[in-house]
Structure 1
Amino acid sequence: MAYILKGVHCEKEGNVNQLSFFIQNNKIVSIRRHFRYTNCYYVDLSQYLISPAHVVADLSFPNLNFKDFKQYMINEFLLKGCTTLLVPFRVEYEFKWKEQLQKIRKQLVGSPIDYVLSVRIPARLVTPSIIRKCKREKISSIFVEITDETDLYRIEWGWMRDAMFPYPVTLIPHVLIEDKKRKIEKIEKWTSILSQVGIPFLEKPIPSFTPISKEELIKLGIYPQKGFLQVGGEVSYNLYYLPKSEDKTSILYDSRKLCITVDKGKVIRAGEDVSYLSGAGNEIPIYVPQFFQITS
């Protein structure tokens, strides 16, 4: 079915404009200020501000029974405009890889939204062998646990670069220190070391339950599969009531102002009502990490 989202306010590079989206077969086919089609179904969204649906990380995804799992997914993700999860499974020892991977896949089998897998490991496990496992499973990122930066100096970065070709895995810092000053110091040291070794990395940690930025999604290879509200993208978006204030973009990450969430063309949240479809989510493999950077 073809239809048009008419006159919705859309933010781009700090500016807000009214645009219309032509949707067909659950894909955004065209975006214009106006469409002249008369044989299409129109949805007037002139009172709303639109944004891509959120991609959110959960660094310690719990193992719950169905009832608690459903409530957890609704409260932490669906009511907050998230339609894609980034979920790292933790591996303490390399021989546990297969067991832990199977465990997280089993936990997520009933997910109502799509998910991207990652892995969380101690710095000592950052090895070519782990990179090859990530390549095999199409996992494009690794959360590296940091307690002592001296572990980073022990890594054979040259071997790591070779192992990453042609599938660059992005490393993400995960500092296991509560003291804010020491945490900042560890992150600064991380950035200093990684910027010299020629390996893709994020300078800052990705926290749980916070929308991941477009720039980070690009580095992780998740964008433009997800978080992409452009021609060719899937129909997944959030709608906010248009605020009266001049700064209309200030509400884009405020779940309290969110009124509608659409996931792959289906409304999954309208006001406080949630449509929960167990098992509707799928694992999203990342076949080409940093695709947008490579092709742009």
Structure 2
Amino acid sequence: MVRIRVVEERLADHYRDEQEIRTPVHFSIGQEATAVGVCTATTPRDWVYTSHRSHAPYLAKGGDLRALVAELYGRQEGCAHGRGGSMHLIDQQAGFAGSAAILGEMISVAVGTAWEFARRGEARVALTYFGDGATEEGVFAESLNFAAVHRVPVVFVCENNLYSNCSPLAARQPAGTTIRGRAEAAGVRAEQVDGNDVFAVHEAALRVVRQAREGRGPVLLELATYRWREHVGPGWDHAYGYRSREEIDRWMARCPILRATELLREEEPHIDAAVAEWRKGFEEEIRELVAEARNLPFPSVDGLLDGAYLPTAR
């Protein structure tokens, strides 16, 4: 969690100050526990898909940070060869199968992957991260239904941070309903967990990933969390009018890193010094990788169409 926080804070600074990273960026600052708690309950053979807010799950799953930074700078050595940017990360060797910008897109892709795992008799699980806004897309309902009917080994991970862009949950979903309840109505087992408590998230993730791996069907985890920065970009958005600085401050007081540190302090008396040392090391790591990425080559024009679908002319 500390590494993810440091990396994203520094990338936010570079994005704002240098204007060299031109891809849109969606930071997970404040939401690190949902990525770490779940991804550390998986194996490299389990595949994780995400939506646009992809950095934290990518790193928590073991994705190559050097390739991520190079991708943000549009360089050939990026994980998508400089063609995808922040919202299209991939590191299949680590089990990070991919991310995409279309809302809800990867939900159905993860279900299809999990179904294939089951058809092959492989003890593997597919997981898909998405926000509360994606649960209002038709693909969410369709994917829940298909997964329940075929009992596919998929874990739906909803990072419920209360806002879809600038639209609050209460303005979009009927009173008295929950995302968990929607999943259960479709025949999918579901749990609600404090998404800022990394230990609670990890315990729940271990349980549901095991259940999916054992062939007991799909599960949804609804993780209550909160992004500190604006929906897209490096700034703060309390002046926009849709949420207050006071609300942001209340959630910042529930910082997942601070909470984990406090819980560990009795067992690990030197945890505060360790966190400070980790931060120092990760600051140096991201500083070196940014300097390196800025000097890497851009993709060649000769390979502009590499990977593109080109129908055969008749």
Is this a same-fold pair by TM over 0.5?
no
Higher helix share: 2
Q: TM-score by structure 2 length?
A: 0.33
Q: TM-score by structure 1 length?
A: 0.35
Structure number with greater Rg is 1
Higher strand share: 1
